[in-house]
Amino acid sequence: MDDQLKNTLLRAVHAGADVLRHYFEGTFEVHSKDSLNNLVTEVDQKAENVIIEVIKSDFPEHFILSEEVGELSTSSNYKWVIDPIDGTVNFAHSIPICCISIGLEKDGLLMMGAVFNPFMNELFFAEKGKGATLNNKPLSVSKNANLESACLVTGFPYRWVDVGTDPISVFERFIRLGLPVRRLGSAALDLCWVAAGRFDGFWEYNLNPWDIAAGYLIVEEAGGRITNFNGDPYSIYDKQTLATNGNIHDQMLLVIKNG
């Protein structure tokens, strides 16, 4: 069964990727969602359609949660959590830092996840208890144990109503420590790049389950740690995300909490 699920997962991310490649740098419709720069393009919808088609044709009874269509709810204990394009603003501006992200939960726990950036040809994959890979090669987080020499990444919400000034103050505290902090514009890739040891840590407020599901498992299976800002065990439905190589986790928590 797990092999079948993996096969479906990989076919689904590749089907989505074909759509992204087809439209990249071309013309397509772009609309705003709840705020001017929270975009949805017709490519998000087309990629989502083909991804769901692949999953539904193999597992018609499975539950689906996907960013643009929402919940296609069933009583199945399998739930596919889909972001057809993570990094839509990048995609709409022809910036090749975007991906398809699909996580699969069984009984509420992540069991498999894939994140594919077709423009860098990087496929990140993880299966619970079996490690994480990048293009089939084992992945592991960095070994850096000092926040002082860490390279970090973050992101900012489109809407500020529910978050106050916290994301800016936390960002300022890390910057004032003299640390390099990057902003890629794709939370799923931020997580995968922590898993790959490119970044030592990532934090963000107000992400959604489809941004995080696959990347969460990929970070954990690459040996990293992921919690909310209290250091509690993580759920993809949390509104605070801290993912690190594990070694600098507590040091980052101190900076985030001690405003």
Beta strand 152-154 with 181-182 is parallel
For residues 83 to 112, the per-residue mask of contacts with ligand IPD, x marking binding by CB under 6 A and - elsewhere, is x--xxxx-----------------------
Beta strand 181-182 with 201-205 is unpaired
8 contacts: CB under 8 Å, gap ≥ 6: 54, 55, 58, 59
Residue 87 interacts with, from ligand IPD, Ca ion, none (CB under 5-8 Å by kind) = ligand IPD
Q: Residue 89 Cβ, how far from ligand IPD at the closest point, in Å?
A: 6
- Size of site (CB under 5 A) for Ca ion: 5
Q: Which of residues 174-203 bind ligand IPD (CB under 6 A)?
A: 185-187
Strand order in the sheet with 70-72: 70-72, 63-66, 78-86, 99-106, 109-117, 122-127, 132-134, 137-138
Q: How far apart are CA 2 and CA 206, in angstroms?
A: 31
For residues 20 to 49, the per-residue mask of contacts with ligand IPD, x marking binding by CB under 6 A and - elsewhere, is ------------------------------
Q: Residue 40 Cβ, how far from ligand IPD at the closest point, in Å?
A: 8
Beta strand 99-106 with 78-86 is antiparallel
* Residue 5 vs 187, nearer CB to Ca ion: 187
According to the binding rule CB under 5 A, does residue 221 interact with Ca ion?
A: no
In the complex, which residues of this chain contact ligand IPD (CB under 6 A)? 83, 86-89, 155-157, 185-187, 207, 211
